[in-house]
Chains A and B, each alone.
Chain A
């Protein structure tokens, strides 16, 4: 008895099968596909024409003007002038940070890069668990080291002359605001979360009120508070610069959101963990620090990364209080006489940089979720 194996019909497998299954399964599916194709064609054609075919890439401002005049004469829409981005790339990155001191930023980036590579390498191999502690210490030490490196000692210092935080700008300021904001707000958020779950009514009411008030108002009001109200409610002897005040505002704001994330993790810890910790004789503080918090925080790492991404995006709001972060610098560039009317190029470039950072963080968090199996549990 021989049965000849029939091949599946050509329309069910391979490229044709894929096309039929994913693009043309029904008549309205086919309509949708054709509509989408037309849409993609229209968008891509416009974008490529504007950003590449008709665009000028010269740093000379004259080239761009000529191209625009020619396009206007021909009655066409002009292409992009990428010259504005190419000329100002350094301004976007470090803004008004003095050029002769920019090596300090490179060294700081180097420190971060070395630490990142070390972390990745040591966490991957199983037999270097002992080294993990040193990496963590390295990360903790890097913060003050980089701060000193970037800020310097005093104006007269020969080695590291002072670069006041007021003139930090561009992407540098964006990253400083985001990193310091998350590092400073996280411990505060943990304390607030513990306070909100506390059995002491006074503490609980205070923390709940703080968290809910902050979460009910926009970040811009908090930044406004840090700029205008801090000087009023603090004695004249205590004064800090605008950047530091903005950082205080971002930290106070972000802490309320971190607190809610951590609280979510705390709520997910089974009561047995608390009881077991008590049974082996740990006091409340040790129970929290060694048993409950590590598990709670691990459970909500994706949420914390999400919070970091939104804090990173929220740093743009400092533009409204007059700081020159990446967006502020972009706005300043578009305001210059020779770059008039080049808003599209500049803001698209800024958007691209923000996108690269947040997309990297969100896809990193997704991979972390998979490796930790958070989604499955």
Chain B
């Protein structure tokens, strides 16, 4: 019986021809797929080869060392005699300048409006929901055009004299159609001997914080007040300030001379428009992320906290936000990525970001494929690094849950 059944199954198995054997079919399907993909790829590359041959070109990155012979008036210093490689670097730095400031400000705006959206005050929650709906339902490029052409470029001119025509905010911060001029800290000669103190303060703060966290983990109660950390962080540079001759940092205040502002830091109107536009746009999306995260915390949590006599502010800070963060972080990562990618709209208003510089490089050099690959590589590595950093943050926050 056993013998005959196994003979039967063997006969059956033997009877399955290889073209109906699922294992063989799977391998064949993949081989066919790979061949088709490779064939299409080869065909495309062949077309590219003949395109190159027609123009007597070869695929190479040697043009990067050549003189760019165009000017870039934004970000780190650049002269027309600098190389293409330097021009690309200028673009990358400008994109990072926009993205880093944008991410910080958009997070703050999103947090505030997201919390305001859930406020028990009817007016506050409706104002923020009007903001969120208006911004989320109009294209970013329209907003950027509006901000740049209809708001920033329509600001009053910058003119010196008895009456400064620019909008002046305390500081002094001058807002005009030339952009924004504001005071800035500038390192002086003695900064070189002062910055080790700054580093020491940072190290001390980190060490104290981790000691404190360890104390909390062991006994459930911090071994010393948080104020000590703040004190250490402030005291060490202050001692350094007294020890080092002269002031290591000087407050540089902008002064209007003629039609220009000098001193301080001056942000171009394009930079202001792009950063502001990205902050307002992404802030609305982050607000929705924050709202969803807060609503994901069960109501009982805040009710229990209220019953124990926590104030509304304490409930938000100590009970709701720490739990909401776990829900918030993953979609927040994708908003940060979106902000970075959306900064490529800079070209629409003439800000010289990575994409805008690359397209100038491309028009000058005619190296279409080479420059395209550089753009892709730059954006992909930026996206990957943001994901990496935020995933580490995410993992640390999720561990708390146990």
CB of A200 within 8 A of CB of B137, answer: no
Chain B hits for A327, CB < 8 A: 139, 141-142, 145
CB of A166 closer than 8 Å to a CB of B: no
> B141-154 interface mask toward A, CB cutoff 8 Å, 1 = contact, 0 = none?
11101100110001
Q: How far is the CA of A158 from the CA of B134 in the complex (A)?
A: 46
In the complex, residue of chain A having the shortest beta-carbon distance to the beta carbon of B41:
A233
Q: Contact partner of A206 among B29, B33, B127, B355, CB < 8 A?
A: B33
Q: How far is the CA of A286 from the CA of B283 in the complex (A)?
A: 44
> B117-140 interface mask toward A, CB cutoff 8 Å, 1 = contact, 0 = none?
001111110010000011011111
CB of A197 closer than 8 Å to a CB of B: no
Closest-CB distance, B121 to chain A (whole angstroms): 5
Q: Which of A198-249 contact B (CB under 8 A)?
A: 199-203, 206, 213, 216-221, 224-225, 228-229, 232-235
CB of A372 closer than 8 Å to a CB of B: no
CB of B138 within 8 A of CB of A200, answer: no
CB of B101 closer than 8 Å to a CB of A: no
Chain A hits for B30, CB < 8 A: 200-203
Segment at the interface with A among B44-52, B105-113, B207-215: B44-52
CB of A334 within 8 A of CB of B149, answer: yes
Q: How far is the CA of A36 from the CA of B120 in the complex (A)?
A: 13
Q: How far is the CA of A229 from the CA of B141 in the complex (A)?
A: 24
Contacts A206-B33, A213-B380, A216-B383 given; indicate if A354 touches B368 (C-beta within 8 A): no
CB of B137 within 8 A of CB of A316, answer: no
CB of B121 within 8 A of CB of A351, answer: no
Q: Which of A341-377 contact B (CB under 8 A)?
A: 341, 343-344, 347-348, 350-351, 354-355, 358-359, 362
CB of A229 within 8 A of CB of B372, answer: yes
CB of A32 within 8 A of CB of B123, answer: yes
CB of A221 within 8 A of CB of B355, answer: yes
Chain A hits for B341, CB < 8 A: 217-219
CB of B37 closer than 8 Å to a CB of A: yes
CB of B360 closer than 8 Å to a CB of A: no
Q: Contact partner of B26 among A200, A228, A229, A350, CB < 8 A?
A: A200
In the complex, residue of chain A having the shortest beta-carbon distance to the beta carbon of B31:
A202
Segment at the interface with A among B85-93, B240-248, B314-322, B343-351: B343-351
Contacts A343-B149, A359-B137 given; indicate if A22 touches B121 (C-beta within 8 A): yes
Q: How far is the CA of A29 from the CA of B48 in the complex (A)?
A: 66
Residue of A40, A213, A232 ringed by the most chain B CB atoms within 10 A: A232
> B333-369 interface mask toward A, CB cutoff 8 Å, 1 = contact, 0 = none?
0000100011011011000000100010010000011
Chain A hits for B138, CB < 8 A: 313, 351, 354-355, 358
CB of B205 closer than 8 Å to a CB of A: no
In the complex, residue of chain B having the shortest beta-carbon distance to the beta carbon of A231:
B51
CB of A224 within 8 A of CB of B47, answer: no
> B356-395 interface mask toward A, CB cutoff 8 Å, 1 = contact, 0 = none?
0001001000001100100110011001100000000000
Closest-CB distance, A208 to chain B (whole angstroms): 14
CB of A202 within 8 A of CB of B122, answer: no
CB of B379 within 8 A of CB of A233, answer: no
Closest-CB distance, B382 to chain A (whole angstroms): 9
CB of A331 closer than 8 Å to a CB of B: yes
CB of B121 within 8 A of CB of A33, answer: yes
Chain B hits for A23, CB < 8 A: 121-123
> B214-236 interface mask toward A, CB cutoff 8 Å, 1 = contact, 0 = none?
00000000000000000000000
CB of A320 within 8 A of CB of B347, answer: yes
CB of B123 within 8 A of CB of A36, answer: yes
> A303-322 interface mask toward B, CB cutoff 8 Å, 1 = contact, 0 = none?
00000010001111101100
CB of A37 closer than 8 Å to a CB of B: yes
Q: Contact partner of A40 among B123, B344, B359, CB < 8 A?
A: B123
CB of B142 within 8 A of CB of A225, answer: no
CB of A134 closer than 8 Å to a CB of B: no
Q: How far is the CA of A292 from the CA of B372 in the complex (A)?
A: 39
Q: Contact partner of A358 among B137, B146, B345, CB < 8 A?
A: B137
CB of B34 closer than 8 Å to a CB of A: yes
CB of A320 within 8 A of CB of B348, answer: yes
Chain A hits for B376, CB < 8 A: 213, 217, 221
CB of B359 within 8 A of CB of A224, answer: yes
CB of A350 within 8 A of CB of B142, answer: yes
CB of B123 within 8 A of CB of A220, answer: no
Q: How far is the CA of A319 from the CA of B141 in the complex (A)?
A: 9
CB of A228 within 8 A of CB of B379, answer: no
Q: How far is the CA of A114 from the CA of B182 in the complex (A)?
A: 59
CB of B124 within 8 A of CB of A232, answer: no
CB of A232 within 8 A of CB of B139, answer: no
Q: How far is the CA of A276 from the CA of B51 in the complex (A)?
A: 54
CB of B121 within 8 A of CB of A343, answer: no
Chain B hits for A25, CB < 8 A: 120-121
Chain B hits for A202, CB < 8 A: 30, 33-34
Closest-CB distance, B280 to chain A (whole angstroms): 13
Chain B hits for A331, CB < 8 A: 145
Chain A hits for B145, CB < 8 A: 327, 330-331, 343, 347
Q: How far is the CA of A232 from the CA of B373 in the complex (A)?
A: 14
CB of A344 within 8 A of CB of B150, answer: yes
> A24-45 interface mask toward B, CB cutoff 8 Å, 1 = contact, 0 = none?
0100010011001101100000
CB of A233 within 8 A of CB of B121, answer: no
Contacts A218-B379, A224-B359, A354-B138 given; indicate if A233 touches B149 (C-beta within 8 A): no
Contacts A334-B149, A351-B138 given; indicate if A220 touches B345 (C-beta within 8 A): yes
Closest-CB distance, A195 to chain B (whole angstroms): 9
CB of B137 within 8 A of CB of A355, answer: yes
Closest-CB distance, A141 to chain B (whole angstroms): 31
Chain A hits for B134, CB < 8 A: 355
Closest-CB distance, A185 to chain B (whole angstroms): 18
CB of A39 within 8 A of CB of B368, answer: no
Q: Contact partner of A217 among B51, B121, B133, B380, CB < 8 A?
A: B380
Q: How far is the CA of A233 from the CA of B149 in the complex (A)?
A: 37
Closest-CB distance, A83 to chain B (whole angstroms): 17
Closest-CB distance, A333 to chain B (whole angstroms): 12
Closest-CB distance, B362 to chain A (whole angstroms): 8
Identify 11 new A-B residue pairs, CB closer than 8 A, beyond the known A213-B376, A213-B380: A200-B26, A216-B380, A221-B344, A228-B368, A229-B369, A232-B369, A235-B50, A320-B345, A334-B149, A343-B149, A351-B142
A-B contact pairs, 21 of them (CB 8 A): A23-B121, A36-B127, A201-B30, A206-B37, A217-B375, A217-B380, A224-B359, A228-B368, A229-B369, A232-B368, A234-B47, A314-B139, A316-B139, A319-B141, A330-B145, A343-B145, A343-B150, A350-B142, A351-B138, A351-B143, A355-B137
Closest 4 CB pairs of A and B: A22-B122, A343-B150, A313-B139, A218-B341
